[in-house]
Amino acid sequence: MALITYRDALNQALREELRRDPAVFLMGEEVGVYQGAYKVSKGLLQEFGPQRIVDTPITEEGFAGVGIGAAMAGLRPIVEMMTWNFSLVAIDQIVNGAAKMLYMSGGQFNIPIVFRGPGGAAHQLAAQHSQSLEAWYANVPGLKVVAPSTPYDAKGLLKSAIRDDDPVIFMEGETLYGSKGEVPDEEYTIPLGVSDVKRTGTDVTVVAWSKMVTVALKAAETLAADGISCEVIDPRTIRPLDDAPILDSVRKTNRCVILEEGWPYAGVGAQIAYQIQQAAFGDLDAPVTRVTGIDVPMPYAKNLEHMAMPSPARLIAAVREVLYLD
Amino acid sequence: MKKPMPTPTMPEHVGRQLVATPKAQLVDMLYQMLLGRRFEERCAEMYALQKIGGFCHLYIGQEAVAIGALSTLRPDDLIITAYREHVHAIVKGCDPGKVMAELFGRRDGVSRGKGGSMHLFDKQKGMLGGHGIVGGHIPLATGTAFAAKYQQRDYVTLCFFGEAAVNIGTFHESLNMAALWKLPVIYIVENNRFGMGTAIERSSAIYDVAQRACAYDMASETVDGMDVLAVRDVIGRAVDLARREHAPTLIEARCYRFMGHSMSDPVHGHYRTKEEVQEQKQQDPIRSYVDVLKAAGIVDQQAVEDLDRKAREVTEQAIQFADASPEPSPDALFEDVYSMPYGPFTRSEQ
What residue type is B128 in one-letter code? L
Band of residue A326 on the pLDDT scale cut at 50, 70, 90: confident
Q: Choose one of A183, A212, A237: the last residue of a domain.
A: A183
Instruction: Examine the domain organization and report whether A127 and A216 are in the same domain.
Output: no
pLDDT top residue among A178 and B345: A178
Does B152 touch chain A if contact means CB atoms closer than 8 Å?
no
> Tens digits of per-residue pLDDT, B169-201?
999 999 999 999 999 999 999 999 999 999 999
Find chain B residues with C-beta within 8 A of A71's C-beta.
143
Q: Tell me, what's the pLDDT at B176?
A: 98
Domains in chain B with CATH codes: 11-326 (3.40.50.970)
Q: Label residue B9 by pLDDT band (50, 70, 90).
A: low
* Domain assignment present for A225: yes
- Tell me, what CATH number does A249's domain have? 3.40.50.920
Does residue B345 surpass a pLDDT of 60?
A: no
- Nearest Cα neighbor of A271 from A139, A132, A112 is A139
Same domain as A218, residue A120: no
- CB-closest option in B137, B174, B345 to A244: B345
Cite the active site residues of A.
60, 129
Task: Please enumerate in sequence order all residues whose Cβ is within 8 A of that of B36, keeping only pairs 6 or more positions apart, or say none.
Answer: B59, B63, B66, B67, B86, B87, B90, B91
Assembly ipTM: 0.95
Residue A41 lies in a domain: yes
Residue A31 shares a structural domain with residue A169: yes
Using CB atoms and an 8 Å cut-off, which of residues 188-207 of chain B contact chain A? none
A5: β partners: A180
Is residue A175 located within the same domain as residue A259?
no
Chain B residues whose beta carbon lies within 8 Å of the beta carbon of residue A74: 147, 151
Is residue A69 domain-shared with residue A203, that is, in the same domain? Answer: no
Q: Using the predicted structure, report yes or no on whether residue B127 has a pLDDT greater than 50.
A: yes
Residue A132: CATH number of its domain: 3.40.50.970
A233 shares contact with chain B (CB less than 8 Å): no
The answer to whether residues A202 and A318 belong to one domain is: yes
The amino acid that residue A299 corresponds to is P
**CB contact, 8 Å: B117 with chain A?**
no
The predicted-structure confidence for A266-324, as pLDDT tens digits, reads as follows 999 999 999 999 999 999 999 999 999 999 999 999 999 999 999 999 999 999 999 99
| Same domain, residue pair A133 and A73 | yes
pTM of this structure: 0.95
Q: Sorting pLDDT into bands at 50, 70 and 90, what band is B13?
A: confident
Instruction: Closest CB to A164: pick one of B142, B148, B340.
Output: B340
- Could you list the residue range(s) of the whole structural domain that residue A239 is in? 196-322
Domain end marker among A162, A183, A204: A183
How do beta strands A168-173 and A144-146 pair? parallel
**CB–CB of B140 and A69 under 8 A?**
yes
In a domain, A219, yes or no: yes
Q: What is the number of structural domains in chain A?
A: 2
Residues A152 and A120 in one domain: yes
A264 and A123 in one domain? no
3-state secondary structure of B237: helix
- What average pLDDT does range B117-122 have in this prediction? 98
Q: Do B150 and A75 touch (CB under 8 A)?
A: yes
Same domain, yes or no: A162 and A27: yes
The predicted pLDDT at position A317 comes to 98
Confidence at residue A299, expressed as pLDDT on a 0 to 100 scale: 97
Among residues A183, A213, A245, the one where a domain terminates is A183
Chain B CB contacts of A279 under 8 Å are 348-349
Q: Band of the pLDDT at B264, cuts 50, 70, 90?
A: confident
A28 and A61, same domain (yes or no)? yes
Say yes or no: A24 and A159 in one domain. yes
Q: Which helix (H) or strand (E) holds A258?
A: strand A256-260
Reported as a single tens digit per residue, the pLDDT across A232-253 is 999 999 999 999 999 999 999 9
What is the rounded CA–CA span in Å between residue A34 and residue A28?
11
Domain presence at residue A188:
no
List of residues 6+ apart from A156 with CB closer than 8 A:
A13, A188, A189, A190
Q: State the maximum Cα–Cα separation within chain A, in Å, rounded to a whole number.
A: 61
Q: What part of B 73-92 touches A (C-beta under 8 Å)?
A: 78, 80
